[in-house]
Structure 1
Amino acid sequence: MAATGLLTKSFIVDEVELSSQRIAVLLPDLRPGGAERLHVNLAAEWERRGIRTDFILLRARGELLDVLPQGTDVVELGVDHFRSVPIPLARYLRKSRPDALLAAMWPLTVFAPIAARLARFPKRIVVSEHSPLTRAYANRGRLHGALLRCSQGIGYPLADARVGVSSGVADDLANSSGLPRHQFAVIHNPAAREKADQAGPTPTALMHISRPLILTVGTLKKVKRHDLLINAFARLPAQLGATLCILGEGPERLALESQINAFGLSERVLLPGFAIDTAAWYASADLFVLSSDYEGFGNVLVEAMEHGLPIVSTDCPSGPREILDDNRYGTLVPVGDPGALAQAMQDALSREHDGAALKVRAAHFSVSKAADAYLNLLLPDWRQSQTSEAVGS
């Protein structure tokens, strides 16, 4: 359902219907991405517990606005630069008075605690990072690296809790910020809420393809290394007759289309674009592949396991090895090696796999568990409050 009560930078907070408990989630926007999907799923779970969510966005834009749960409010700060966030965010916190603030993705994770201090916000502030920042910004130079470390050292201590979505991310944050590792909690990202038995009909783009179908899901950006995946796919034996589907949209589309044409694979590699509901795509696939240079976690691996799909993934930092429990639930290959990736794909397609065991593993990363873990940091007394309300009713 679409968000209700869209607020602009004028902050007409009198129009917001305050509830007993309400969490403010700060994000740049709600364009599709792993972190954005995570928070939409968390909001839906919190709503089931009677806890509402305000999404505080720099700009109220993105496809995920249309799938926010009922009862969610969207607040647009009306700014285009991260450095402009503190003042309007502080104004929102003073006037709307949520029960907790969750900020995701640097530098919002630095500016949010500062804004909360400006507002004299008395409730808990939690910051979460969804990628290994030193790797994500490694090509920005020494000055940027120094700014990153300095800002972490200033902003993180002002928060009540700090979260990394994998142990690798938490290690990276501790090393770069200079804070002790034990000050960073690890909350793994949850699986998608869609279940395999709820998948819709086969997407039209997949109705007349040759099998087996190899699927990957992710934004078309360089770090995802879809170019590597196409290179590896081109090395598979022609008699295998496989089709590759790269589900997502992004700035690398033209470059990938050019590469596909250069390999003569235009009939066997699909770029269908972005899909809000990915369940039917997973349900139609025979193998899932992740080819990234790095990940904060790797949500799509959990989504693939939820559908019982065999998995091949690069052994990139930080999430795949944790999700796949080394090589127990999938095959890990070296980063940037198209030959190894091609061989692993071919081997995976040629052997039997235990789909039931993969689904059991996916349940370890349930939305419910993640929602509870965040609530324990944001609203430590939430269980007691709900018990009291239940007794009172």
Structure 2
Amino acid sequence: MTKRIAIAIDSLAGGGAEKVMLTLASSLIELGHEPHLLVLQNHCHHEVPANIPVHFCFAQNEKNLDSFWKLSQSVARLKQFIDQVQQEVGKFDLFLSNLDKTNLLMSRTQVSPLYFVVHNSVEEELARQRKLGPFAYWDMIRAKKALNGQHLITVSKGIAGEIASKGRIHPASMQTIYNPFELERIATQASKPAQGIPDGDYMVHVGRFARQKRHDILFQALASMKHTLPLVLLCNNKKKALKVARKYGVEDRVIVPGFQTNPYPWIKQARLLALSSDYEGLPTVLIEALAVGTPVVSTNCDHGPKEILLDELQQYLVPRRDPSALAEKLDNALDSYPDCSNAKILAQVGAQTVAEKYLALIN
């Protein structure tokens, strides 16, 4: 029987959570079900397939929807919006809520069955927010506390372990469902031609230029490697990236072609992919690299990498914030690396396999 699933999210502005939910929606359709995106505001940079219905609740220019003084009004409007959508398309069999603003509002709507998808480390996000000042920190704390007594889906076991051990949030239930990956589509996209890819060997790093990604550690490692391959950065801020590369003396070895709508040919043709992050939720790019047979070396941050690099690939995990260890492991990987095209994690993250796990929540 066809199930109708509501996927609620802040926007479709281009982040990882948005991409994950679009993939899930496409997979649910392939399985014969009917997903709907309930989007708070119309900030849309992702390309949304025409067969996925999208409903926008608030105007694009509305601000402070989750502020203390507007929260009750926003929740009332969201409840009315959901009721209207259900009158038009039918009752939803499952609600999935994503990201802080949406979580705060959805937790007060009393819709059911409702699950909250936790995409990142709660503690790392709070630590970063604390540096922005008490008001920013309070806003995030409020959103995280909204998860108390709720049913949670974490995208990695590491995040679930953190929530359980820290005791900041007390969920009604919690389980891990890995993010979905369209493995066949990734392979197809990786085989397409792409302009600007270097002719010779190179390494690649994929990720926005942000402190979390620790490009400074990556550049220090690059400076001390015995191999002298160039490093391609697929990131969103060429000017800042080159400025930091210059600081560590590796500007001449860094290539920054900018954001790529199809990064997979760049990943597939690289000798290896490096991840130097301080923290992640479930680092998508590691799985995408393995899916196209590209070796990976990653920092062993608390959430995700050690669940992806299993068995003989575990040796390519390195401590966080250790440029020397990262440099050594990158050199080792360039000299010799096991076949990673059939990595164990790939059997657990196929899009339809993951979609079936979400459908099981209905029962």
1:268, 1:233 → 2: CA distance?
A: 9
Of 284, 291, 313, 2:276 maps to 291
| CA shift in 2, pair 1:245/1:27, >3 Å | same
Pair 1:338–1:82, CA change in 2 (3 A) = farther
Deviations 1:40-89 (A, max 9, x none): 1001001112222322223222321x243524224242233350542332
The share of aligned pairs that are identical, in percent, is 26
2:26 is matched with which residue?
A: 44
What is the aligned length? 345
Letter in 1 for 2:152: R
- Give yes or no for the alignment of 1:274 onto 2:259: yes
* Residue 363 in structure 1 maps to residue 354 in structure 2: no
Which runs of structure 2 are paired with 1:306-325 in the superposition (5 Å)? 306-325=291-310
Aligned to 1:386: none
- Answer yes or no: is 1:109 the counterpart of 2:91: no
Conserved 8 A contact 1:60-1:74: no
- Summarize the Cα distance change of 1:149–1:184 in structure 2 as closer, same or farther, 3 Å threshold: farther
The TM-score, its normalising length taken from structure 1, stands at: 0.79
- Listed as ranges, the gaps of 5+ residues in structure 1 are 1-18, 381-393
Equivalent residue number for residue 345 of structure 1: 330
Q: Distance in 2 between matches of 1:20 and 1:312?
A: 42
Quick check: 1:45–1:371 contact (8 Å CA) kept in 2? yes
Q: Which residue of 1 aligns with 2:223?
A: 234
Q: Give the Cα–Cα distance (whole angstroms) in 1 for the partners of residues 19 and 229 of structure 2.
A: 30
Quote the residue 2:235 is aligned against: 248
Give the stretch that moved more between structures: 66-75 or 146-155.
146-155
1:187 has 2:177 as partner:
yes
Change (3 A) 1:75 1:107: closer
Matches of 1:254 and 1:80 in 2, distance apart? 30
Q: Tell me the amino acid that sits aligned with residue 28 of structure 2.
A: W
SS where residue 103 of structure 1 aligns? strand
Deviations 1:149-204 (A, max 9, x none): 565444442x4x21111112112233344426x82111111234433355243422
Q: 1:317 to 1:124 in 2, by over 3 A?
A: same
Q: In 2, are the aligned partners of 1:127 and 1:163 still within 8 Å (CA)?
A: yes
Q: Distance in 2 between matches of 1:171 and 1:361?
A: 19
Find out whether 1:222 has 2:208 as its counterpart.
no
Mapped to 2, the partners of 1:301 and 1:307 lie a distance apart of 10
CA contact (8 A) 1:156 1:162 kept: no
Quickly say closer, same or farther: Cα 1:346–1:313, change in 2 above 3 A.
same
Distance 1:261 1:130 in 2: 33
**Other-structure match for 2:5:** 23
In structure 2, the CA distance between the partners of 1:71 and 1:189, relative to structure 1 (3 Å rule), is: closer
Task: Quickly say closer, same or farther: Cα 1:330–1:364, change in 2 above 3 A.
Answer: farther
Give the drift of 1:38: 0.7
CA distance in 2, matches of 1:269, 1:50: 46
- 8 Å Cα contact 1:202-1:281 kept in structure 2: no
